[in-house]
């Protein structure tokens, strides 16, 4: 089968080294923990569901997506697409035999969910505190049994910024307690956010990025008292490299180090993201050296005492020699459920699709697109029934086989790219008892490409390094190129996505496969 398991991007070079990024996909705001010999990652998911992806690795380079912690977003408003809202930067921790994720919903508050096994059932998230504009939360349990929530602020909702706030909480993360304190106020680090709190050798370490997503740097704070005062050090910056940001992430050690600080070189690693516009916030990993009690990240290429990101490095020596992997992308639709790589653009339910009506095919149910004030259909980017995947590489192609014979009159279905607040899609429409191949662009309107003899054909899109998307199709053996090209962009804090949508009052369309190459 062409494209099957041919990952468009792999970080593992197969020679004991890896290439950054380790994940060339929009796993934004990553946080990682180690439990025993297993590494677990989660990331923000904003308006998309299921939310809070859970990824697993044995070596920090080869990752697979194994679950989601949240099925749907709490709140009635998420039945419709809420671009820029939903789940912002989360954190993941292991405490008292359970896995904990804490995540912000910027309009609603701070939520928590737990699981005994990250691959298993996560509990329904509960609201720890209702609060507008609290973001980037992290849970922390101290050696004395006391527990804390640390978070930042979204200036757009709270009017506050460059502030990290520490709040005592009950150990079960069900309520906040008195005694909170603003422990960091750093206007010299604009947009300070994304705090992660650790304790090593009696010292409290607080990791937080400053300087904005596109042009920022990584700061570490440390203190002997959890409430401070804290001293600070910039430990990672873009410098002379091409890796802008580098933004918030996670500090982890290898199983052989067992939490020792400073630990030997090669025992500690820092995973963070780089904003790559339409391709999303892609995940990099840098080696960490402990110098004078500070975790220095990357390599000091400029000799100024501040690390810079590496593009290639030796893999962490975890003792695992498993297969080269990447998060799933290609789907043959022959499993009883959708692969973990798929997300809907808003809250979803079982009525959106079926994998059993036509075994080996994904049947998507038609649902109307919303309309604007003039009565025109709006973009599929605002359709909760759009099912899509992250861009998985800097260059790639996607092909799908569509059978639109069950579409009702006036309905259409096809292959879509959404990003930058706009969309383009190539599909089949049933109109006046005929089948038509349509190309629909938000900014360019509707373009009829051909009249079809039958509603079965292969749809393709190829994405280049500049996020230029070129659609085509094969109908009865004849390839058809489609113009103009569509340039995808980032929007609503997330990168562009590629997926499938069916629009109309009723009926359905079926897809035989969805293959990346």
* pLDDT at residue 2 greater than cutoff 50: no
Burial annotation 455-490 (CB, 10 A radius, 16+ → b, else e): bbbbbbbbbeeebebbbbbebeeeeeebeeebbbeb
pLDDT per residue as tens digits for the range 67-106: 999 999 999 999 999 999 999 999 999 999 999 999 999 9
Q: What is the pLDDT of residue 470?
A: 97
Q: What is the pLDDT of residue 284?
A: 98
Q: How many residues make up the chain in this entry?
A: 517
Q: What is the pLDDT of residue 253?
A: 97
> Per-residue DSSP letters for 23-46?
B-S---S-EEEEETTEEEEE---B
Q: For the chain, what is the mean pLDDT?
A: 95
Banded model confidence at residue 442, pLDDT cuts 50, 70, 90: confident
Give SS3 for 351.
Answer: helix
Token couple for 400: 């799908």
Phi, psi for residue 350 in degrees, rounded to 5: -65, -20
User: 375 or 110: which carries more pLDDT confidence?
Assistant: 110
pLDDT per residue as tens digits for the range 177-220: 999 999 999 999 999 999 999 999 999 999 999 999 999 999 99
* pLDDT at residue 417 greater than cutoff 60: yes
With 0-12 / 13-18 / 19 or more C-beta atoms within 10 angstroms meaning exposed / middle / buried, residue 186 is: middle
Contact status, residue 51 vs residue 310, Cβ threshold 8 Å = no
User: 376 or 303: which carries more pLDDT confidence?
Assistant: 303
Give SS3 for 221.
Answer: strand
Contact status, residue 333 vs residue 273, Cβ threshold 8 Å = no
pLDDT per residue as tens digits for the range 120-170: 999 999 999 999 999 999 999 999 999 999 999 999 999 999 999 999 999
* pLDDT at residue 429 greater than cutoff 90: yes
Q: What is the pLDDT of residue 30?
A: 98
pLDDT per residue as tens digits for the range 482-512: 999 999 998 778 999 999 999 998 899 999 9
pLDDT per residue as tens digits for the range 319-370: 998 899 999 999 999 999 999 999 999 999 999 999 999 999 999 999 999 8
Give SS3 for 480.
Answer: strand
Q: Which residue, chain included where needed, has tokens 């030997």?
A: 264
* pLDDT at residue 6 greater than cutoff 70: no
Phi, psi for residue 367 in degrees, rounded to 5: -140, 145
Q: What is the pLDDT of residue 420?
A: 84
Q: Which residue, chain included where needed, has tokens 């190539």?
A: 426
Q: 180: closest CA among 191, 171, 169, 190?
A: 169
* Domains in the chain: ranges and CATH: 29-244 (2.115.10.20), 343-516 (2.60.120.200)
> Per-residue DSSP letters for 58-120?
SSSSSEEEEEEEESS-SSGGGGS--TT-SB-S-EEEEETTEEEEEEEETTTEEEEEEESSTTS
With 0-12 / 13-18 / 19 or more C-beta atoms within 10 angstroms meaning exposed / middle / buried, residue 74 is: middle
Residues identified as active-site: 29, 193
pLDDT per residue as tens digits for the range 28-59: 999 999 999 999 999 999 999 999 999 999 99
Which strand (E) or helix (H) includes residue 478?
Answer: strand 478-481
Q: What is the pLDDT of residue 481?
A: 92
Q: What is the pLDDT of residue 264?
A: 83
Q: What is the pLDDT of residue 333?
A: 98
Q: What percent of the chain has pLDDT over 70?
A: 99
List all residues 6 or more positions away from 216 whose beta carbon is below 8 Å from its beta carbon.
Answer: 191, 209, 210, 245, 246, 247
Q: What is the pLDDT of residue 212?
A: 92
Cut 0.85: pTM above it: yes
Burial annotation 313-338 (CB, 10 A radius, 16+ → b, else e): bebbebeeeeeebbbbbbbebeeeeb
Q: What is the pLDDT of residue 5?
A: 47
Q: What is the pLDDT of residue 4?
A: 39
Q: 103: closest CA among 32, 151, 146?
A: 151
Q: Give the sheet arrangement for strand 31-35, strand by strand.
A: 31-35, 38-42, 51-57, 63-70
What letter would DSSP give residue 158?
A: H
* pLDDT at residue 289 greater than cutoff 90: yes
pLDDT per residue as tens digits for the range 107-131: 999 999 999 999 999 999 999 999 9
Beta strands in 237-385 (DSSP E): 249-253, 268-275, 281-291, 294-297, 312-314, 343-344, 353-354, 362-365
């Amino acid at each position: 089968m062409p494209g099957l398991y041919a990952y468009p991007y792999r970080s593992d070079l197969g020679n004991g080294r890896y290439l950054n990024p380790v994940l060339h996909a929009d796993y934004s705001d990553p946080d990682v923990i180690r439990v025993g010999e297993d590494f677990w990652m989660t990331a923000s998911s904003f308006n998309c569901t299921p939310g809070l992806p859970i990824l697993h690795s044995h070596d920090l380079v080869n990752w697979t997506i194994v679950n989601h912690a949240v099925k749907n977003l709490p709140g009635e408003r998420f039945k419709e697409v809420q671009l820029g809202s939903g789940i912002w930067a989360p954190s993941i921790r292991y405490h008292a035999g359970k896995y904990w994720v804490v995540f912000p919903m910027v309009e609603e508050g701070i939520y928590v969910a737990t699981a005994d096994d990250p691959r298993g059932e996560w509990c329904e998230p509960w609201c720890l505190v209702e609060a507008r504009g609290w973001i980037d939360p992290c849970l922390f349990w101290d050696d004395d049994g006391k527990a804390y929530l640390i978070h930042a602020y979204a200036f757009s909702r709270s009017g506050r910024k460059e502030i990290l706030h520490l709040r005592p909480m009950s150990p079960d993360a069900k309520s906040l307690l008195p005694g909170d304190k603003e422990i960091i106020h750093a206007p010299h680090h604009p947009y300070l956010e994304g705090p992660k709190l650790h304790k090593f050798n009696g010292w409290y370490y607080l990791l937080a990025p400053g300087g904005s997503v596109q042009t920022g740097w990584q700061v570490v704070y440390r203190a002997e008292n959890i409430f401070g005062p804290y001293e600070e050090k910039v430990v990672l910056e873009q410098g002379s490299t091409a890796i802008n940001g580098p933004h918030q992430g996670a500090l982890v050690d290898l199983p052989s180090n067992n939490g020792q600080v400073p630990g030997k070189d090669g025992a500690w690693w820092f995973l963070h993201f780089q904003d790559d516009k339409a391709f999303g916030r892609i995940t990099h990993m840098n080696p960490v050296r402990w110098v004078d009690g500070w975790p220095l990240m990357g390599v000091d290429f400029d000799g100024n005492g501040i690390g810079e990101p590496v593009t290639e490095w030796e893999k962490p020596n975890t003792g695992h020699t498993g297969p080269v992997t990447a998060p799933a992308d290609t789907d043959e639709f022959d499993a009883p459920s959708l692969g973990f790589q798929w997300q809907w653009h808003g809250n979803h339910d079982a009525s959106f699709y079926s994998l059993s009506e036509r075994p080996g095919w994904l049947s998507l149910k038609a649902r109307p697109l919303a309309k604007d004030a003039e009565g025109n259909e709006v973009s599929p980017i605002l359709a909760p029934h759009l099912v899509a995947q992250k861009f998985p590489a800097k260059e790639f192609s996607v092909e799908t086989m569509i059978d639109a014979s069950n579409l009702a009159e006036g309905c259409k279905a096809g292959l879509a790219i959404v990003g930058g607040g706009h969309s383009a899609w190539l599909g089949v429409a049933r109109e006046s008892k005929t089948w038509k191949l349509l190309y629909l662009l938000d900014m360019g309107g509707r373009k009829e490409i051909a009249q079809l003899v039958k509603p079965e054909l292969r749809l393709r899109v190829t994405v280049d390094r500049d996020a230029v998307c070129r659609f085509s199709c094969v109908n009865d053996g004849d390839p058809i190129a489609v113009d103009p090209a569509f340039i995808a962009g980032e929007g609503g804090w997330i990168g562009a996505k590629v997926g499938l949508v069916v629009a109309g009052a009723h009926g359905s369309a079926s897809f035989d496969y969805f293959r990346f190459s």
